[in-house]
């Protein structure tokens, strides 16, 4: 018996990576009865006499899981956002950050196309780099063929399972192509269909890149806060969490409550008012969500 990680699921087979070798396995019959289905990213116990005929015996508890794409145990998300064409969109970036935080995934922010900016625009991006950096998020300002940025990105990939996120047209393809050509094509194809409500079912595969595993499918097929409860939203803003003990009320939503530490920090300029306004926008969006049955 051995432990490994599922890196691909296809036609009823699971491909388990164990000490650098891949084992083709089937799920045990009773998974179906228990309504448990192994996912790419799962850590599993398996038994295999050779590399073609293995059996998955059990699945370890998951740290997180996605339905679309079907993947489990993601450590981090590389959120790619462009500095220009399309313009840098802080609201969209904050939306991605909330989705990532809600899944307990660590974000890494990559701002692409830095080579296409004038001096003022560069200063603006450096302001964001500082702002998000102070929250605790790694920020990488990048351009295609910028070896320093590529080295930085690759250094983040080691020993972790990573998904890529970001709207289409932000330069994911060319960026990923410079990391590893196996990643580049599929990611943008899928995100193109994002806004059109298509639910593309396709297989997910984890590729070994820079001593880590990277999914070839974007991490978020929907940008709605469908699974997020109102009370969870403040937890998705680390700079709010850092001061929330100072709020008068437990479970403070930092909105209309009096003596709110978050609002005080916003007024004092210690928390970005832009982030706070995005928070209020998301709060309203969740409050106005149609009830689900």
Residues found near Zn ion in the complex (CB under 5 A):
247, 252, 254, 260, 262
Q: Cβ closer to Zn ion: 216 or 239?
A: 239
Q: Cβ closer to Zn ion: 254 or 278?
A: 254
| Smallest separation, CB 269 to Zn ion (Å) | 17
Q: Cβ closer to Zn ion: 184 or 274?
A: 274
| Smallest separation, CB 279 to Zn ion (Å) | 11
DSSP states of 99-129 as a string? Answer: HHHHTT-EEEEEEE-GGG--HHHHHHHHHHH
- The rounded distance, in Å, linking the Cα atoms of 142 and 153 is 9
| Smallest separation, CB 246 to Zn ion (Å) | 8
Q: Which of 104, 190, 183 is nearest to 150 (CA)?
A: 183
| Smallest separation, CB 70 to Zn ion (Å) | 37
In angstroms, the Cα distances linking 238 to 112, 136, 227, 262 are 24, 8, 19, 11
Q: Which of 169, 117, 166 is nearest to 141 (CA)?
A: 117
Q: Cβ closer to Zn ion: 69 or 234?
A: 234
Cα-Cα-Cα-Cα dihedral sign, residues 80, 211, 222, 233: negative
């Amino acid at each position: 018996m051995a432990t490994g990680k599922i890196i691909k699921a296809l036609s009823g087979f699971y491909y388990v990576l164990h000490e650098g070798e891949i084992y083709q396995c089937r799920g045990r019959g009773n998974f179906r009865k228990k309504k448990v289905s192994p996912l790419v990213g799962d850590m599993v116990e398996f038994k295999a006499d050779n590399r073609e005929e293995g059996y998955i015996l059990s699945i370890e508890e998951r740290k997180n899981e996605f339905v679309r794409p079907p993947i489990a145990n993601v450590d981090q998300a590389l959120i790619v956002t462009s500095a220009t064409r399309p313009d840098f969109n802080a609201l969209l970036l904050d939306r991605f950050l909330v989705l990532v935080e809600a899944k307990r995934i660590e974000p890494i922010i990559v701002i692409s196309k830095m080579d296409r900016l004038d001096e003022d625009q560069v200063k603006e991006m450096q302001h964001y780099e500082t702002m998000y950096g102070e929250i605790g998020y790694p920020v990488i300002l990048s351009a295609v063929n910028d070896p320093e940025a590529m080295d930085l990105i690759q250094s983040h990939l080691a020993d972790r399972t990573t998904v890529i996120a970001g709207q289409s047209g932000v330069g994911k393809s060319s960026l990923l192509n410079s990391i590893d050509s196996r990643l580049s094509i599929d990611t943008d194809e899928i995100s193109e269909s994002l806004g059109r409500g298509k639910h593309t079912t396709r297989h997910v595969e984890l590729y070994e890149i820079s001593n880590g595993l990277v999914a070839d499918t974007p991490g978020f097929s929907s940008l709605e806060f469908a699974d997020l409860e109102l009370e969870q939203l403040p937890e998705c803003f680390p700079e709010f969490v850092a001061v929330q003990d100072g709020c008068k009320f437990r479970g403070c939503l930092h909105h209309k409550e009096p003596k709110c530490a978050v609002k005080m920090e916003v007024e004092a300029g210690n928390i970005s008012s832009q982030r706070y306004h995005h928070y209020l926008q998301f709060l309203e969006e969740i409050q106005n969500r149609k009830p689900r049955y």
